[in-house]
Amino acid sequence: MNTVDFSQDFVAFACAKGVLRFGEFKTKAGRLSPYFFNAGLFNDGDSLSKLANFYADAILASKIQFDMLFGPAYKGIPLVAAIAMALAARGHNLPFAFNRKEAKDHGEGGTLIGAPLVGRVLIVDDVISAGTSVRESVEIIRAGGATPAGVAIAIDRQERGTGTLSAVQEVELSLGMPVIAVARLTDVIDYLAGQPALEQNLAAVRRYRETYGVT
């Protein structure tokens, strides 16, 4: 399966599940967006399994070198476990870890759960908005003596942040590591162009990209 295939298939899946919706939605930046992506709606076993397989497709297609996975609390916790299982099913059995928001002072203690942080660590999350979660993850990984290798996300909005770069581009530039996206906004636009039932949303999404998009 090539990149175009799994990206388009993922957009179709997200639309069918109601995770990717069209209309008018206010973003954290105060912009009126013609679409909304809510990964929290991948909320049953079947959809989480399919989501993890799409991540596995994107991660393996990227050829990125890494030794383990890390999922930041909270959305990254089910993601990292499911993605580790999807990769293991493809012959890549890798350790994973995640953090808790509050330190625990009994039992195993601390904020980290799972495998010890070693080698090159791939961070998995749903989206990158301001990049805060990624930067916190990078600090945790480095403090554990490991090296952040990159970030894998479900969708790249390809949208300017506070400056001329997108949140994804800012992370890549400031942290010096790649961001892998299962799909990008351009994939959403390509998908809409071939779907008569959804095509009425195409013009609004294109206008939004022309106004706020990055190349």
pLDDT tens digits along 60-98: 999 999 999 999 998 999 999 999 999 999 999 999 999
Interval 198-213 mean pLDDT = 96
Q: Is it the case that residue 107 has pLDDT exceeding 60? A: no
Dump the DSSP string for 141-182: HHHTT-EEEEEEEEEE--BB-SSSSBHHHHHHHHH---EEEE
H or E element: which one contains 105?
Answer: none
Question: Band of the pLDDT at 193, cuts 50, 70, 90?
Answer: very high
pTM recorded for the entire structure: 0.93
Give the per-residue pLDDT at 1: 52
Interatomic CA distance for residues 208 and 203, integer angstroms: 9
Q: Kindly report the average pLDDT of the chain as a whole number.
A: 93
Query: How far is residue 202 from each of residues 45, 72, 175, 181, measured CA to CA in Å?
Result: 31, 33, 34, 21
| CA neighbours closer than 13 Å in the CB half-sphere of residue 20 | 26
Q: Hey, which residues are catalytic here?
A: 104, 106
Domains of the chain by start residue, with CATH: 3-212 (3.40.50.2020)
pLDDT tens digits along 108-149: 546 899 999 999 999 999 999 878 899 999 999 999 999 999
